[in-house]
Amino acid sequence: MAEPSAGVRAKLWDGPVRIVHWLLVVLIAFSWWASGDHLNWHRWSGYTIIALVLFRIYWGFAGGGAAKFSSFVKGPKAVAAYAATLGKRDVATTPGHNPLGALSVLAILAVLLVQVGTGLFAVDIDAFEGGPLSDRVSFELGREIADWHELSFRALQALVVLHVAAVLFYWLWKRTNLIGAMITGRRTLPSDPGLAGAPVWRLIAGVVLAAAIAWVLSKGFRL
Ligand code: HEM
Ligand code: HEM
């Protein structure tokens, strides 16, 4: 697979971004599997996903370098300009998510919030199993929310298929290996963008905050 012939192996994705990404992949697959007969595991996997998504959103503001939303979320003009160059068969050199990919990142995070948010209130058909907040709503509403939970999962599946197709498109058409960068954190770029990391206390604060919120939610606010 070709990379820019002249260039440097630059640091791109920090550890937290990569760990969150691959844990999301594993836990979403696990949650899907466990949604049939293992609702207890489904809920626990879901609480971990809540913590991961909350942490990633926090990190988009408090983190550094390519993790920051402000580094990759662009306006419609930039998105349109980037989209116009999409068909070109050149190696992608954006030091982070490109303006179009940024939309997909935001969409996945938004749908994940809906997914876990509806899960908290969802209840199964015989009212035997439910999310930790399902007893705060009527059974009928809990069932309706369970339908939204299922619908949101369809949307998540569609986004993930599109996401993986985009990554493959970059690999096969644009000859750019984005997957390796999400594993090692480094990508060959024309020059080192010199991305600055965030101080470690912000990482610790984010992990503690996200875990605490997920824990409180898992208890249905009954501490
Ligand atoms: C449940 C499945 C998946 C979800 C929810 C997901 C979600 C995400 C999210 C939210 C990001 C943004 C990363 C960040 O800035 O924090 C991302 C990026 C990325 N994902 Fe996934 N992903 C999934 C599956 C996969 C798979 C299977 C692959 C490999 C084939 C993959 C490869 C990548 C790559 C290479 C990037 C970086 C793209 C870039 O360079 O702009 N993802 N993914
Ligand atoms: C990304 C995370 C999640 C995914 C992908 C997911 C996916 C699913 C799927 C596919 C179903 C089966 C829907 C059906 O066939 O009726 C389901 C059911 C369910 N989920 Fe989740 N879920 C997630 C998070 C959560 C969370 C955080 C909770 C609550 C703590 C939760 C609670 C439930 C409950 C109670 C059901 C049963 C509803 C019913 O029987 O209709 N889920 N989930």
Could you read off the pLDDT tens digit of each residue along the chain, which spans 223 residues? Answer: 444 556 899 999 999 999 999 999 999 999 999 999 999 999 999 999 999 999 999 999 999 999 999 999 999 999 999 999 999 999 999 999 999 999 999 999 999 999 999 999 999 999 999 999 999 999 999 999 999 999 999 999 999 999 999 999 999 999 999 999 999 999 999 999 999 999 999 999 999 999 999 999 999 999 8
Report which protein residue has its CA nearest ligand 1's atom 7.
Answer: 21
Please list, in sequence order, all residues whose beta carbon lies within 8 angstroms of the beta carbon of residue 80, skipping any fewer than 6 positions away.
Answer: none
What's the full length of the chain, in residues? 223
Mutate to test the pocket of ligand 2, among 25, 27, 31 (most ligand atoms within 8 A of CB): 31
In order of their start, the domains of the chain are 9-218 (1.20.950.20)
Atom nearest to 66 CA in ligand 1 = 15
The ligand 1 site (C-beta within 6 Å) comprises 17, 20-21, 24-25, 28, 56, 97, 101, 105, 108-109, 160, 163-164, 167, 178-179, 181-182
Burial of 139-170, coded b for 16+ CB within 10 Å and e otherwise, reads: eeebbbbbebbeebbeebeebbeeeeebbeeb
Secondary structure in 3-state letters for the chain: CCCCCCCEEEECCCHHHHHHHHHHHHHHHHHHHHCCCCHHHHHHHHHHHHHHHHHHHHHHHHCCHHHCHHHHCCCHHHHHHHHHCCCCCCCCCCCCCCHHHHHHHHHHHHHHHHHHHHHHHCECCCCCCECCCHHHCCHHHHHHHHHHHHHHHHHHHHHHHHHHHHHHHHHHCCCCCHHHHHHHCEEEECCCCCCCCCCHHHHHHHHHHHHHHHHHHHCCCCC
Atom nearest to 97 CA in ligand 1 = 41
Atom nearest to 56 CA in ligand 1 = 16
The Å distance, Cα 13 to ligand 2 centre, comes to 30
Report which protein residue has its CA nearest ligand 2's atom 19.
Answer: 35
Report which protein residue has its CA nearest ligand 1's atom 33.
Answer: 179
